[in-house]
Structures are given as structure tokens and as C-alpha cells.
Amino acid sequence: MEEELKNQARLIWQKLLEANNILFIAHQRPDGDASSSLCLMAGVAKALGKKFTAVCADPLPAQFSFLANFSQIKSGFAEIKLADFDLIMTLDCSDLQRTAYPDLFLRAPEQCLIEIDHHPNLNPQSNWQLRSSIFASTTEALHFLLVENNYPLEAKAGTAILAGIIDDTGAFLYPSTSPRTLTVAGQMIDLGANLQKILAHTASGQSNSALKLLGTAMARLKINRTYNVAISYLLPADLAGLDNDDTNGISGRLSNLPGVRAILLLTDNGQGVIKGSWRSREDGADVSALAKAMGGGGHVRAAGFTIYGRLAEEKGKLKLTRLCPPETLSVALQAGA
């Protein structure tokens, strides 16, 4: 696998060098890994003298404003014309839909699409991919890309790489942390990445609202002793007035619960969509199989899915109401159903 990844890294780098105008795009509601990846590649593109745009459907969380190039990341697609770019690179996206940019599905055949990620891709659409679960974060995958092509890393790039790793591993607490991850982290610190500053803004620097939300999820935990699976949920009222980053990492923190094989966190965003996040720290518990059965996917220890529906509490019990996907509902209405 390592040799195949090296070949992919060299091919992708050549495409970057040949490109005239590059679009870097991460998933909607960006977390620390997505934010760090965008900032890192913006710096790389500048160093290579490339014309580029780095964009996300939603604003990057303010807690990552310490990253170099943070202010250059655009929010929303109103000013983006896909036809202007000859190379498109998605970052930290398990599939194109996670970008929330439908124009990507309409790109011209000559527009090269590259995907860099550490999640499995259930529906690959790209020309080239650097994607493997051996990486704990997308910034770790990008580190692989840069090192394999002898790109000269420095402290600012190292800070972005380390910030993505720390955010996606819960400061090295999650099972995705590997010896490779720790080696890369140590190298970035040697480059001058400020570990204490990163920790203060990411995994151990959560806001009061984020900590209260974690407390709400913990208070609702129920354990199915037949399977030793814990379940919790967050309702729209719990999320009112909170920033996107307040919900990041909650499922990972719940995974530290002793005596259970896996945890499931259901989050209702109040817009007819429920996000399910599976986490496990136990050998032999493959939550990616559970997520796949629910239409999603992910890693053995961390996976997720999305369904259309609503959550509600009724008489102390959780009720889930399934809804039609928007496109299904639209077709039904047009047919007079």
C-alpha cells in the first residue's frame, strides 16, 4: 500500500505543478482538520506561485484564526466560477456531496479533480486520489504528499499539519492515532509548530458552550447492555445559538466511556437532517459496517451516516420520525402524489 500511495503522491504533485488555476475546497461545517488543510494548501500554492482559490461552504471556526492564511479562505460559492479552474482539489471529503457545492458534479471533462482524505470514499468521482485510513487526519495525508515530493516544510506549514492531527485525534486520545501520526507530530514540533498554542485553540481549548453541550450529551447517555452500545442525542434546541465548532469532537470524547463497545451520537440540526456518529475504542468492533448499513461509511473505529428526519423527546423517550429526502419529496409533489 505504501508504494501505491507514493506513486499517487508523485502523480498528484505533477498535476499541481502543471495547473494554472487551482480550487481547494473542504467539506461544509469545517472542523479543525478541514480548516487546517485549506490553510496549509493555500500556503503551498502561494509558495509555488500558483493562482488559487481556497473555499468552504461555511466559515472556518474562529478558533483556528491563528493559522497562517486563515483570512484568505473564502466562505460560500457566490463568487466562485468553476469554469475558471483547471484543477480542483477536495480536502477531507468522503465524497463530493460533503462540499455542498453541486457545481462540482457539472465540471468539464478536462478539469482535473483530485481528492485528498483519510476517510474511505464510497463513490469516487476523481481523476486522482491520495486517500488512506493509515492517516489519522487529512493534514497527515498532505504531509505525506509534501514530504514525498521534497517540499520544504517550515513552522507555519508544520503548525497547520499538527493542528489538523490534534483536532482529528482529540489530542492523540482517539484510536486513529498511530506510531506514524506521533512521528509526524514530533517532526512538526521540531519544525517550530507551537503545540501549547494549538492545544489551547483546539482539543483542550473548548468554549463554555461546547463543554455544556458535551455535558448534555453525557447526561442523556443510555447503554444497551445486550450489546454494550451507548447512545446519546442532541436536539435542535440544544444547538441554538452555537457555533459549528461547538459540536466538533463530542462523539470522540464520548468514546472514552468505559465498559461499552461502541457509542452512537445522533444530532438533529433542525432542518430535517439527522447526523449519526459512531465511535469505538475496542478491538473487533467495526463501526464502519454499522454506518454502511445505514447508508454511510467511515473507519473501523470512527464512522457516520446521515438520514432525513427529526428527533423529539416524548414522555422521557427519544422518538425518530423519518422524512423524505428533499429531491424525493420534490418529485412526488410534481407527480401530484
Domain boundaries, the chain: 2-201, 209-322
What grid cell was written down for 164? 489538523
Residue 16 · residue 46 · CB < 8 Å: no
Given this model, what pLDDT does residue 285 score?
79
What fold, for 2-201? inorganic pyrophosphatase (n-terminal core) (3.90.1640)
pTM of the model: 0.76
Given this model, what pLDDT does residue 184 score?
97
The residues of the chain scoring below 50 in pLDDT are: 245, 327-337
Helix (H, G, I), strand (E, B) or coil at 86: coil
Residue 148 · residue 6 · CB < 8 Å: yes
Given this model, what pLDDT does residue 326 score?
55
Given this model, what pLDDT does residue 327 score?
46
Phi-psi region of 241 (alpha: psi -120 to 50; beta: other; left: phi over 0): left
C-alpha 163/C-alpha 142 separation (Å) is 13
Given this model, what pLDDT does residue 244 score?
52
What grid cell was written down for 35? 480548516
What grid cell was written down for 5? 500511495
C-alpha 237/C-alpha 132 separation (Å) is 37
CATH pick for 209-322 out of 3.10.20.30, 3.40.50.1000, 3.40.1030.10, 3.10.310.30: 3.10.310.30
Given this model, what pLDDT does residue 331 score?
36
Given this model, what pLDDT does residue 334 score?
40
DSSP 311: E
